[in-house]
Structure 1
Amino acid sequence: MARLPRIRRNFATVKDLIKAAEDGDPQAQHDLGAAYASGAGIKQDRLKALHWWMKGAEGGDALAMERLGDVFRTGEVALEKVTPIDLDRAIGWYKKSAAAGYHEALFGLGRIYQQQQEFKKAAATFKESAYVYGKRESLREYGMCVFHGNGVPKDVQVGRDIIAEAALMDCEFSDLGRAYLAQNYGVTLGMPESAEARKKRKTALETFQFNCLQKRAEAGDVDAQVELAHKYVFGGKGNELNRDKAYFWFHRAADAGDAEAQFELGRNCDSGSSAQTRDPQQAYQWYKKSADQNYRDGLREAGRCLYLGEGVKQDYKQAGIYFEKAVKQQDPESMVFLGRMLQDGNGVKKNPERGKKLIDAALEEDKKGIGLAKLRLSMLNDAETAKARKKR
């Protein structure tokens, strides 16, 4: 199953967003559609929102697919009618979104099954969404299925308990929502709460979601293993910071062939963090495995090792091959490396003009991030200065 990128890019200006969308970037197409839907930074236009979501979905963006599911389920964009309801198309887009890694789409799919009175499918979908992927709203809906006996054996008390569990993880419960649960399900939440009580609700939700993630990882879900490892790297949000556990889960996923996990293990060996002492040779081997799957960060780091001769014999030609592939994926640091190689003619045909353009493009791209290309260029300049001094 496909995994969504952990970090979706931000675009500096609406102009940049429009250009990226028009150039065929599926994420930008989704984001531009969202901007048109809300009127954020651009004149609101619901039909243009639908147009760009369709483009993004057709290009493979899972969030755009889920948006289309919502549109065809309700016929609306931003609470206004824009297209006839088409539940078959909605089901198709929700399923594609979930298959592409956006499991939030299962909630909308369950809603459609409810509309069609296919209660067994609805209950099964809500149950999967809740207990496998940790969606609180689906937990509530599944509890209601159990309470009423829709698609599952009726059990009023168990249903009420599930609804109460979901409600106790709702950080922004309205007075109307409280009254509804009390009147229809006998679930009493009391008066509006303090900020501390809401914080406890948030912690309960994060813990529930983390436990669902851990169960998926333990069952062999490679995507979940990578996500769980990242959570252990940073800690918080329902889990502890534990770099040894992060290393364990990255290793499980890397052994299963996951390119991102292989890159992360390489970085681990490179730095000597977690359960691993520093091992440049092993780091390069993991980077290479990741690079061989065309994973951008793996390409860059395998190229860097070859360029510098760290953990592997120096090989400018192979480094250039890796950097070229990473540049095609808009990696700023690789632009700096390849740009310098083109300026010097190391491992590639000398082309100072293209080299300068790549470095300038990297520094421009840097303005949208945290300045890694500028730092890399500074490090290369320092290394060359030190090398020149030794020759004197």
Structure 2
Amino acid sequence: MRSARLFFLLAAVMLTAHASAQVSLAPPGATSDKPATPDKPAAPDTKPAAAAKPKLRPAAKKPAPPAAATATPAPTPDDPNADLVYGAYQRGLYKTAFDLATKRAQENGDPKAMTMLGELYANGFGLKRDDAKAAAWYKRAADAGDREAMFELAMVRLAGRGGPVNREEAAKLLASSAKLGNSKAAYNLALMYVGGETLPQDLRRAAELFRVAADAGSAEAQYALATFYKEGTGVPKDAEKAARLLQAASLAGNVDAEVEYAIALFNGTGTSKNEAAAVTLLGKAAKQNNPIAQNRLARVLAGGQGVPVDKVEALKWHTIAKTAGKGDPDLDRVLSAMSPEDKAKADAAVRKWLGAK
């Protein structure tokens, strides 16, 4: 069920994840006495390690929730009522879903129906949004043992919707939901253990929970656990396991993982070296507006590693990365010798890219 899910940004320990993620590159024409080494990539929207604390970030809203995002699991074939409620919700017939769920909750005390009502109120689907009613229905369902309601109520408590912020209650709800097999709860509980605020910092426990969520297919957890293996945080350092997890998260569309896995492929860290595949991944992430990928792509294009030299395209991505705050003095120097005509071509490409956004 697509809901107002909130995800913690990884705390200071997670910022070490990128410490070894470098693309070794000395672009042609560089005048420096030593090879240019790019800055260590850091996850977007994070603060420096000394000041980093877990933060809440709401998940992006979409007009209609996809099936995979629903908190109400697919109904069993022998439960026609569940099928009617779920089917109505999936088709966007929210008023019908509300009526059917209300009947089931009142007549049968069905926790899944209660969770559905909480979701409808939380998102304003088919009726006016009401955080207090959403929290009340989630609580009734959670008290009845529904793991999805436990997770949703935890997110409500963390956001302070329908009542004051209550991190302690949220932690307990996440723990209960995780015990019942909710991978989203395991992931968010792991982040609490990383942050060390509501719960004592316990990186080994965080790694265990990340593993549970990663095994369930969570790309965010796969990426987080990969960073643990890269640095030996809460687990023994293991570059091969890190690379496998980065690959899995990358295939699932996690942009940060795409960048990290591309760098691992480029340098042959924990996996076979494959510069061509690395450049392809960097290009994919660059087109998704990741400034680190844009910077790395500019470097390989300028240096002709894994791809033919293309300084016009290199200057394009370098300039785009700079607009996002990812400057690179080495590239400034290398690309400054380009002809006015090539610089004009790159500038036109930048304007086209920025205008299309």
> d(CA) in 1 for partners of 2:96 and 2:122?
12
User: Which of the two has higher C-alpha Rg?
Assistant: 1
C-alpha deviation, 1:313, in angstroms: 3.1
User: In structure 2, do the counterparts of structure 1 residues 356 and 135 end up closer, same or farther at CA, with 3 Å as the change threshold?
Assistant: same
The one-letter code sitting in structure 1 at the alignment partner of 2:203 is R
C-alpha deviation, 1:88, in angstroms: 2.7
Q: Which has the higher contact order (CA 8 A, sep 6+)?
A: 2
Q: Superposed, which structure 2 residues align to 1:195-344 within 5 Å?
A: 205-237=166-198, 239-274=199-234, 276-344=235-303
Q: Secondary structure at the residue paired with 1:314?
A: coil
C-alpha deviation, 1:378, in angstroms: 6.8
The one-letter code sitting in structure 2 at the alignment partner of 1:128 is A
User: In structure 2, do the counterparts of structure 1 residues 210 and 379 end up closer, same or farther at CA, with 3 Å as the change threshold?
Assistant: farther
C-alpha deviation, 1:345, in angstroms: 1.9
Q: Superposed, which structure 2 residues align to 1:50-199 within 5 Å?
A: 57=63, 88=95, 105-108=119-122, 125-128=138-141, 132-133=150-151, 135=153
The C-alpha deviation readout for 1:58-94, integer Å capped at 9, x for no partner, is 698xxxxxxxxxxxxxxxxxxxxxxxxx9839959xx
Q: Judge conservation of contact 2:118–2:137 (CA < 8 Å) in 1.
A: no
TM (norm. structure 1) is 0.49
Listed as ranges, the gaps of 5+ residues in structure 1 are: 11-25, 31-55, 61-85, 93-100, 140-168, 172-201, 367-372, 382-392
Q: Which has the higher helix share?
A: 1
> d(CA) in 2 for partners of 1:245 and 1:311?
24
Which residue, 296, 300, 323 being the options, matches 1:364? 323
Q: Superposed, which structure 2 residues align to 1:26-65 within 5 Å?
A: 57=63
> d(CA) in 1 for partners of 2:116 and 2:308?
43
User: In structure 2, do the counterparts of structure 1 residues 337 and 110 end up closer, same or farther at CA, with 3 Å as the change threshold?
Assistant: closer
Count of aligned pairs: 231
C-alpha deviation, 1:212, in angstroms: 0.6
Q: Secondary structure at the residue paired with 2:7?
A: coil
User: In structure 2, do the counterparts of structure 1 residues 254 and 310 end up closer, same or farther at CA, with 3 Å as the change threshold?
Assistant: same
Superposition RMSD on alpha carbons, in Å? 4.5
- Paired position in structure 2 for 1:199: none
> d(CA) in 1 for partners of 2:174 and 2:116?
14
C-alpha deviation, 1:259, in angstroms: 1.3
Matched-pair identity in %: 22
User: In structure 2, do the counterparts of structure 1 residues 357 and 135 end up closer, same or farther at CA, with 3 Å as the change threshold?
Assistant: same
> d(CA) in 2 for partners of 1:244 and 1:288?
23
> d(CA) in 1 for partners of 2:279 and 2:163?
52
Listed as ranges, the gaps of 5+ residues in structure 2 are: 10-43, 46-58, 67-92, 100-114, 144-148, 333-357
Q: Judge conservation of contact 2:225–2:242 (CA < 8 Å) in 1.
A: yes
TM (norm. structure 2) is 0.53
Q: Judge conservation of contact 1:109–1:125 (CA < 8 Å) in 2.
A: no
The C-alpha deviation readout for 1:16-72, integer Å capped at 9, x for no partner, is xxxxxxxxxx95xx7xxxxxxxxxxxxxxxxxxxxxxxxx52698xxxxxxxxxxxx
User: In structure 2, do the counterparts of structure 1 residues 343 and 102 end up closer, same or farther at CA, with 3 Å as the change threshold?
Assistant: farther
